[in-house]
Amino acid sequence: MVGGLAVPRIRFGERVLREWAYGDAEVLREAAEDPYIPVITTVPREWSEEAGRAFVERQFRRAEDGTGYPFAIVDERGRTVGHVGVWIRDLDLGRVSIGYWVVASARGSGIAAAAVGTLAEWAGAHLGAARVELHIEPWNAGSVRTAEKAGFTCEGLLRSWGEVGGERRDMLMFARIVGSAARPAAS
Ligand SMILES: CC(C)(COP(=O)(O)OP(=O)(O)OC[C@H]1O[C@@H](n2cnc3c(N)ncnc32)[C@H](O)[C@@H]1OP(=O)(O)O)[C@@H](O)C(=O)NCCC(=O)NCCS
């Protein structure tokens, strides 16, 4: 439990989204070796106990300062395999965004798509969001497929949307309508 926003425990099947804990830092050892995860996140490029601890503390601060809700993704065996977070800067406009990663040794089981879909639904039901957004680089076929499986639709290409790894990059905008806005209008 942290101050600011309280990060809940959310079950999805046998798996769980929950607040990061110091004991999760081990997963960062593998994440640090990924060619892409450290480029788009604050996962350290070189793992050390201190760097792992600092990553976990950054997640605490994101909840404390109201940036959003960062979750560790825990699989059915109790192993922490990745991260998913919902960021609420534009929540007063009804919009939130989600970011995610799963370490290579845990990929392909459907856990990323299930985690993203679960968190999108939670944001609609518990935060009152109407629209959940994902920004995905066009080459990232795995993330595109994850978004589609989680119920998101591609709305187009945002050219030179932001800097990634020191370069301007295009992003596909994926969105899912959630909460009461997702329900069909009463006749
Ligand atoms: C994107 C990522 C989270 C997907 O993780 P995952 O655990 O493999 O995803 P899932 O198992 O839930 O798979 C979801 C779908 O994507 C497909 N998929 C996953 N990786 C793929 C790839 N490299 N190419 C094509 N399809 C892929 C899966 O087959 C599945 O679709 P299916 O059920 O129709 O077969 C993971 O590759 C990752 O962390 N990548 C690095 C960080 C990143 O890109 N984050 C997202 C930034 S926008």
In this structure, is residue 126 part of a structural domain? Answer: yes
| d(C-alpha 154, C-alpha 136), whole Å | 10
In this structure, is residue 5 part of a structural domain? Answer: no
- Per-residue pLDDT tens digits for 112-131: 999 999 999 999 999 999 99
What is the pLDDT, as a whole number, of residue 3? 55
Task: Read off the DSSP letter of residue 66.
Answer: T
Which atom from ligand 1 is nearest to the alpha carbon of 40?
47
Strands 95-102 and 131-136, by their bridges, are parallel
pLDDT band at 25 (very low <50, low <70, confident <90, very high): confident
| d(C-alpha 136, C-alpha 54), whole Å | 26
More confident residue, 4 or 2: 4
Ligand 1 binding site (Cβ under 6 Å of any ligand atom): 36-37, 40, 100-102, 107-113, 136, 140-143, 145-146, 149
Of 51, 47, 57, nearest in space to 19 by CA = 57
Extract the tokens encoding 96.
């939130």
Q: What is the CATH number of the domain that holds 33?
A: 3.40.630.30
Whether 187 shows a pLDDT value over 60: the answer reads: no
Exposure string over 91-111, b if 16+ CB within 10 A, otherwise e: beebbbbbbbbbbeebeeeeb
What is the pLDDT, as a whole number, of residue 1? 47
pLDDT band at 84 (very low <50, low <70, confident <90, very high): very high
Q: What total number of domains does the chain contain? A: 1
CA of 101 to the centre of ligand 1 (A): 9
CA of 143 to the centre of ligand 1 (A): 5
Instruction: Work out the mean pLDDT of the chain and round it to a whole number.
Output: 94
What is the pLDDT, as a whole number, of residue 26? 84
**Minimal-distance CA residue to ligand 1 atom 48:** 136
Any idea which of 46-50, 131-135, 183-187 has the lowest mean pLDDT?
183-187
- Per-residue pLDDT tens digits for 145-183: 999 999 999 999 999 999 999 999 999 999 999 987 675
Averaged pLDDT, 92-114? 97
For residue 88, count other CB atoms closer than 10 A to its CB: 18
**Are the C-beta atoms of 134 and 105 separated by less than 8 Å?**
no
Which atom from ligand 1 is nearest to the alpha carbon of 34?
41
What is the pLDDT, as a whole number, of residue 2? 45
| d(C-alpha 24, C-alpha 140), whole Å | 26
**Minimal-distance CA residue to ligand 1 atom 15:** 146
In this structure, is residue 2 part of a structural domain? Answer: no
In this structure, is residue 26 part of a structural domain? Answer: yes
pLDDT band at 186 (very low <50, low <70, confident <90, very high): low
- Per-residue pLDDT tens digits for 42-74: 999 999 999 999 999 999 999 999 999 999 999
| d(C-alpha 11, C-alpha 93), whole Å | 28
Task: Read off the DSSP letter of residue 34.
Answer: S
More confident residue, 55 or 1: 55
**Minimal-distance CA residue to ligand 1 atom 23:** 142
Domain that holds residue 177: 10-182
Extract the tokens encoding 68.
């959003």
Structure-token match 């919009």, residue found: 95
| d(C-alpha 136, C-alpha 142), whole Å | 10
3-class SS at 90? Answer: coil
Extract the tokens encoding 172.
């596909």
